[in-house]
């Protein structure tokens, strides 16, 4: 994928950029000079065979995994060595493939906790936190189960709780790791509409998703990883017909995710 000639010059349109990222685990290279960008108001899909390096890229972007070389920028600021909590304060939010909810708390209480802990509502009253949490619960479509304990929810709805909690931080960019896993067809349709609404509001979204119908229908751009390298970064239609992508999905092998 062609990159800007000046490695220190960020794309003015990109809210999040990873440039020439390399990550090694012992003798295994999980990411090999991989680059991608996320633009405000657009949805970028991140796909690839199992073990291609997708989750490793998310871990690098969110500060959970240090990189061996390369750079990460958020809103033009170099965040390569920043801790996860500092990245969150600067406007990055993430969900995880493995659910991380407070199972004994209700949906509403889970989101209220996120509102109360977010930088935008520090020192706010309990009433204001409840009000904002209620708006978020409604927005993701969970109002009917707002007072159900999170641990009792089916997986599809539980993932929406994580999305609501992430939105509670008022992020500039949202990283979603397989958010549609466990959703029914109707839930996936609703979720696709929600993603489009969030992007229309100016949020930059990066999504890992194995549901190809979903990712291809909502994404403005698609990045394809294989063996830790970016083999395509183009529109969904161009990616569908890319020979390298077709070859990778037909069993060209994988590295470590």
Q: What is the pLDDT of residues 60-102, one digit of tens each?
A: 999 999 999 999 999 999 999 999 999 999 999 999 988 889 9
107 with 160, same domain?
yes
Q: What is the pLDDT of residues 10-36, one digit of tens each?
A: 444 799 999 999 999 999 999 999 999
What's the pLDDT at 192? 96
What's the pLDDT at 69? 97
What's the pLDDT at 123? 52
Among residues 170, 205, 232, the one where a domain terminates is 170
What's the pLDDT at 140? 95
87 with 176, same domain?
yes
What's the pLDDT at 247? 86
Residues 165, 166, 167, 171, CA torsion sign: positive
Among residues 120, 151, 170, the one where a domain terminates is 170
73 with 198, same domain?
yes
Token couple for 97: 């493939």
Strand intervals (E) in the chain: 14-25, 28-39, 43-47, 69-74, 77-78, 92-94, 173-177, 204-208, 221-226, 229-234
CB 159 within 8 Å of CB 190: no
What's the pLDDT at 92? 96
CATH of the domain at 72: 3.40.50.300
Reading the chain (257 residues) residue by residue, the pLDDT tens digits are 333 333 333 444 799 999 999 999 999 999 999 999 999 999 999 999 988 999 999 999 999 999 999 999 999 999 999 999 999 999 999 999 888 899 999 999 999 989 987 745 455 567 788 899 999 999 999 999 999 999 999 999 999 999 999 999 999 999 999 999 888 899 999 999 999 999 999 999 999 998 999 999 999 999 999 999 999 999 999 999 999 898 887 544 444 45
Distances (CA, A) of 252 to 21, 44, 50: 22, 23, 11
249 with 224, same domain?
yes
198 with 227, same domain?
yes
pTM for the structure as a whole: 0.87
35 with 78, same domain?
yes
Domain extent at residue 23: 1-91+171-257
66 with 110, same domain?
no
Total domains, the chain: 2
Residue 82, strand partner residues:
none
65 with 177, same domain?
yes
Among residues 119, 142, 170, the one where a domain terminates is 170
204 with 241, same domain?
yes
How far apart (Å, rounded) are the C-alpha atoms in residues 204 and 136? Answer: 18
156 with 177, same domain?
no
218 with 124, same domain?
no
124 with 230, same domain?
no
What's the pLDDT at 42? 97
């Amino acid at each position: 994928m062609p990159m800007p000639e000046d490695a220190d010059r960020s794309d003015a349109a990109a809210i999040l950029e990873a440039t020439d990222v390399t990550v090694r685990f012992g003798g295994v290279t999980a990411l090999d000079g991989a680059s991608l960008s996320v633009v405000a108001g657009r949805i970028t899909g991140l796909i690839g065979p199992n073990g291609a390096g997708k989750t490793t890229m998310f871990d690098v972007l969110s500060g959970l995994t240090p990189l061996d070389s390369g750079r990460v920028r958020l809103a033009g600021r170099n965040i390569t060595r920043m801790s996860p909590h500092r990245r969150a304060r600067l406007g990055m939010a993430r969900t995880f493939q493995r659910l991380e909810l407070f199972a004994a708390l209700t949906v509403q209480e889970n989101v209220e906790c996120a509102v109360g802990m977010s930088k935008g509502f520090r020192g706010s009253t309990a009433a204001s936190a409840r009000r904002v949490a209620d708006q978020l619960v409604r927005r993701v479509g969970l109002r009917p189960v707002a007072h159900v304990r999170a641990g009792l929810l089916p997986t599809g709805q539980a993932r929406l709780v994580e999305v609501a909690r992430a939105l509670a931080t008022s992020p500039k960019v949202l990283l979603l790791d397989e958010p549609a896993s466990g959703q029914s067809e109707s839930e996936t349709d609703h979720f696709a509409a929600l993603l489009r609404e969030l992007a229309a509001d100016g949020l930059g979204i990066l999504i890992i998703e194995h549901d190809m119908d979903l990712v291809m229908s909502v994404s403005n751009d698609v990045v394809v990883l294989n063996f830790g390298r970016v083999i395509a970064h183009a529109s969904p239609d161009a990616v569908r017909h890319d020979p390298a992508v077709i070859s990778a999905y037909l069993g060209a092998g994988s590295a470590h995710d």
